[in-house]
Amino acid sequence: MENLTAGQKLDRAFDALGEQHSLTFELDLDTDAATLQALDTEAQPEDRMPDEVAELFSGARVSVSVESKKPLNDSGDKDFSAMAVKLSGPKGDLFEYRLIGDDAYVRADVAAFGQLAGSPMPSADELPPAAGAFKKVLAGKWIKLSAEDLRKTSEQMARDQAAGNGKKPSPAPTLDAQAQKKLMNGLRGVIAKEVRFTTADGTDGTEHVKATAPFRTLLAGLIDEIRPLAGQLPDGGKLPTADDLKDAPNKKVTADFTLKNGALRDVSVDLAPLAEKAKGKKFALVLRTVKGARPTAPAGATEVRMDELMEGFFGGLMGGSFGADELSDEDAG
């Protein structure tokens, strides 16, 4: 039997995931609302985390599924045939997006988001006929859009935003294959240098590989490897500088990888050392792999065009009775 190190076992587990044509995983926080609110005690009363938001984050779960014509390691944007993203809260699903071939499907609990934001939304019945298909969105129903139409609208919005900021629109930067390989080798080098791996047997034939590293040291090393390639990465804000990181805690953080028959089952990252106010309480970020959750097209979706949806939004919320009431309130003030 081959004798593998802990690091090699993790490499093989991740390589095996990359050889698959489909993958589903779930991400959530293993904590409670009281622990989250304890992290915010130094904030001004009006800025502290509301009960509803704390309950949402403590009970929220993000599910992601992808399916590709090629192994995931070799897949580009055009190779993915299906994708699904779902955000769930303690009281049910809040948002879901599915991409099946050339069609995109979306639904959302708009009322719940409005309550969390402190801005209640009108019900579908309160909107005028001009709202059209947007009523379906407010009612939490599935709508179906052309994926190409959605992509073009997103690109146009990005161009409009760039023009509004006085910038010249340009294609989104991408990393070529050589740059990707160089980056991955650099990141692996930092991990090999800074991370300490240990193994232990678990229950039900599982094995635990624990990776422990000082948080600030590891983060700084990883960012230093990314920095030379920052210009080739999609826009997402500037990378933090050494000065930005100097106040970050440098306590050791442990990620616990659970393997079964060599395959990755879940990962739990213990964040409690980074949050002194959560001392003695459970505070972890957990990722689980899930089998058999293939993205499919939902039944009963209403097919709409993006321009039709935008017209309904402006005609219903901005030009309807709801918008008029808000405008009259502002004029009165």
- 317: tokens are 């919320």
User: How far apart, in whole angstroms, are the C-alpha atoms of residue 321 and residue 327?
Assistant: 10
- The residue that leads in pLDDT, 173 or 295, is 295
Q: What DSSP character marks residue 68? A: E
What are the tens digits of pLDDT across the range 203-255? 888 999 999 999 999 999 999 998 888 777 665 557 888 888 888 889 999 99
Is the confidence at residue 181, as pLDDT, over 50?
Answer: yes
User: How far apart, in whole angstroms, are the C-alpha atoms of residue 149 and residue 72?
Assistant: 26
Of 31-35, 131-135, 174-178, 269-273, least confident by mean pLDDT is 174-178
Q: Give the residue-averaged pLDDT of 148-164.
A: 82
Tokens 């590989």, residue located? 209
So what's the pLDDT on residue 222?
Answer: 92
What is the pTM assigned to this prediction? 0.81
- The residue that leads in pLDDT, 321 or 10, is 10
So what's the pLDDT on residue 173?
Answer: 63
So what's the pLDDT on residue 322?
Answer: 46
